[in-house]
């Protein structure tokens, strides 16, 4: 489908898909590892949570997961804009938002069923499903408008809203990226200044206030569009030194909460400061940014570790994040019930942690197998469209230069390529797969 309004040349040039050098597997690996960490953290009093960053710094896996989601949204919807125009972007954002909304409702029902089957009052209270069991009609109505959320499902309503609004966000980022990021930062600041939030029920608490956490999504999308300009500054040695020092400072402060002798090293004001996860406390945000700088230095795009079995499993989970996240929430819920009703011993905690991660990997593998046929069809369509684009570009150059069609491997001046690409944006690439 082709939009009535053509996409301008500067926007086409700035789209993430056209600037990329293929899929960056680091993005999928980060999201997959974050999903594992979220699962381990969602099990209360779990020894496996000591493998996650929340015990060694101000931020945790949630910041990574949300930021990477902004990155992947820019890549996915930027590619859709190149192929299908703005109507395709809107259609895809609405469809993805609907998928996440349905997954959230099904996950809410799944958690409630598990609480009912387990039959324990402690589990129902801890998971915030007691109100749904006691008042199912009114509570489900609140869940339908995203005001009620069982424990550990809070991130899905955020993604419902952010995907739904990503088309106008992308439009702004492509035209005024720095202004858009600045506006997002201003909103984040106002949230902390005036305690703004989105209505919730049965209380006004959000584990992830969308008005604050939107900053990480916008930052991730901005990085994919304007990151090349900021990369020399981000990867400079002074910034690296500051990032490492802040990470070490965060480590000492965090450990002081559990190791008494370290308390003497921490200023009283900081020791009493509560890190507000709901509103993305500035200390948490800075800690995540410091980790991102360190990762940019230590993990290059062609890092060999990405080919190891563990990282391949993480990549697979990251590429199927929605089903893996939902399964992880249910597994954490069931693991909590097992620890309460059966045993909370060390062996049980290790078994539940390992078994849950393995199950998440199996879920990702199954999801990949189910979608492998459509993906192969899409790849064939894109290859065919690329071949047509080369033929059309050759013909356009021949007409412009009044000579023979260029040989294989020759390229066109950028204005001609962009002009031909505009025409090809109107082609439905999926319909080309069978030709």
| All structural domains of the chain with their residue ranges | 9-377
Structure tokens, 262: 């370290």
DSSP, residue by residue, 39-77: HHHHSTT-GGGGGSGGGSSS--HHHHHHHHHHHHHHHHH
Gap between the Cα atoms of 111 and 130, Å rounded: 11
pTM listed for this prediction = 0.82
**What is the reported pLDDT for 375?**
52
Average of per-residue pLDDT across 53-60 = 94
- The confidence score (pLDDT) of residue 400 equals 55
Of the ranges 94-103, 160-169, 181-190, 258-267, which one carries the lowest mean pLDDT score?
Answer: 258-267
Mean pLDDT of 72-96: 94
Per-residue pLDDT at 415 exceeds 50: no
Cβ neighbours of 199 (radius 10 Å): 9
Pairwise CA distance, residues 60 & 34, whole Å: 9
pLDDT tens digits, one per residue of 123-143: 899 899 999 999 999 999 999
Helix (H, G, I), strand (E, B) or coil at 146: coil
Residue whose tokens read 């940014």? 289
Task: With CA atoms as reference, report the closest residue to 392 among 427, 428, 417.
Answer: 417
Residues in the chain: 435
Overall average pLDDT of the 344-352 stretch: 96
- Rounded to an integer, what distance in angstroms lies between the CA atom of residue 224 and that of residue 78? 10
Q: Please give the Cα distance from 336 to 42 (Å, whole number).
A: 9
Helix ranges (DSSP H) in 197-308: 210-234, 237-256, 268-271, 282-298
Give the per-residue pLDDT at 6.
46
Residue 383 pLDDT: 56
How far is it, in rounded angstroms, from Cα 124 to Cα 258? Answer: 29
Name the band, by pLDDT with cuts 50, 70 and 90, for residue 428: very low
Runs of H (alpha helix) within 299-434: 309-319, 321-341, 346-401, 414-424
How many Cα neighbours within 13 Å face the side chain of 361? 15
pLDDT surpassing 80 at residue 388: no
Distance CA(67)–CA(214), nearest Å, equals: 9
Q: What is the mean pLDDT of the chain?
A: 85
Instruction: Check if the beta carbon of residue 126 is closer than 8 Å to that of residue 44.
Output: yes
Query: Burial of 353 by CB count in 10 Å (0-12 exposed, 13-18 middle, 19+ buried)?
Result: buried
Cα(416)–Cα(126) distance, integer angstroms: 62
Q: How far is residue 253 from each of residues 60, 256, 430, measured CA to CA in Å?
A: 15, 5, 54
Nearest C-alpha neighbor of 320 from the set 102, 28, 72: 28
CA separation for the pair 14, 222 (Å, rounded): 11
**Alpha-carbon separation of residue 264 from 248, 252, 340, 354, 372 (angstroms):** 16, 11, 36, 37, 56
What is the Cα 341 distance to its own chain's centre? 34
What span, in angstroms and rounded, lies between the C-alpha atoms of 418 and 11?
Answer: 11
Q: Which of 399, 392, 401 is nearest to 425 (CA)?
A: 392
Taking the C-alpha atoms of residue 206 and residue 222, their distance in angstroms, rounded to an integer, is 25
* Spatial contact of 88 and 76, defined as CB atoms under 8 Å apart: no
314 pLDDT exceeds 60? yes
**Interval 224-255: pLDDT, tens:** 999 888 889 999 999 999 999 999 999 999 99
Backbone angles phi, psi at 347, to 5 degrees: -60, -40
| H or E stretch at 12 | helix 9-14
How far is CA 225 from each of CA 157, 175, 180, 184, 340, rounded to the nearest angstrom? 25, 10, 12, 16, 47
For residues 361 and 66, what is the distance between their CA atoms, to the nearest angstrom? 20
């Amino acid at each position: 489908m082709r939009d009535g309004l053509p996409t301008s040349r500067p926007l086409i040039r700035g789209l993430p898909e056209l600037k990329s050098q293929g899929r960056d597997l680091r993005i999928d690996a980060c999201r997959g590892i974050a999903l594992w960490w979220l699962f381990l953290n969602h099990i209360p009093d779990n020894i496996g949570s000591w493998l996650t960053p929340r015990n060694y710094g101000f931020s945790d896996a949630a910041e990574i997961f949300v930021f990477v989601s902004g990155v992947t949204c820019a890549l996915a919807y930027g590619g859709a804009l190149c192929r299908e125009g703005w109507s395709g972007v809107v259609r895809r954002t609405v469809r993805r938002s609907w998928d996440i909304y349905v997954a959230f409702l099904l996950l809410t029902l799944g958690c409630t069923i598990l609480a009912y089957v387990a039959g324990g009052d402690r589990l129902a209270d801890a998971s915030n499903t007691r109100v749904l069991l006691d008042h199912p009609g009114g509570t489900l109505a609140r869940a339908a408008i995203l005001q009620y959320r069982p424990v550990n499902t809070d991130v899905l309503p955020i993604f419902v809203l952010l995907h739904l609004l990503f088309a106008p966000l992308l439009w702004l980022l492509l035209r005024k990226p720095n202004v858009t990021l600045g506006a997002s930062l201003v909103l984040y600041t106002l949230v902390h200044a005036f305690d703004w939030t989105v209505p919730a029920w049965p209380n006004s608490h959000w584990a992830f206030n969308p008005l604050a956490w939107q900053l990480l999504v916008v930052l991730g999308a901005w990085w994919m569009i304007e990151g090349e300009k900021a990369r020399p500054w981000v990867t400079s040695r002074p910034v690296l030194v500051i990032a490492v020092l802040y990470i070490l400072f965060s480590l000492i402060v965090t450990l002081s909460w559990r190791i008494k002798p370290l308390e003497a090293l921490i200023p009283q004001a900081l020791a009493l400061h509560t890190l507000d996860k709901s509103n993305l406390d500035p200390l948490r945000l800075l800690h995540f940014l410091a980790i991102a700088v360190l990762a940019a230095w230590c993990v290059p795009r062609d890092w060999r570790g990405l080919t190891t079995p563990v990282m391949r499993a993480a990549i697979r989970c990251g590429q199927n994040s929605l089903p893996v996240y939902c399964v992880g929430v249910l597994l954490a819920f069931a693991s909590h019930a097992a620890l309460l009703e059966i045993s909370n011993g060390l062996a049980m905690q290790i078994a539940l942690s390992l078994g849950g991660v393995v199950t998440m990997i199996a879920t990702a593998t199954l999801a990949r197998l189910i979608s492998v046929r459509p993906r192969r069809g899409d790849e064939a369509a894109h290859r065919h469209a690329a071949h047509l684009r080369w033929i059309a570009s050759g013909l356009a150059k021949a007409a412009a230069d009044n000579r023979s069609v260029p040989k294989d491997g020759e390229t066109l001046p950028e204005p001609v390529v962009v002009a031909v690409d505009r025409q090809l944006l109107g082609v439905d690439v999926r319909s080309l797969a069978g030709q």
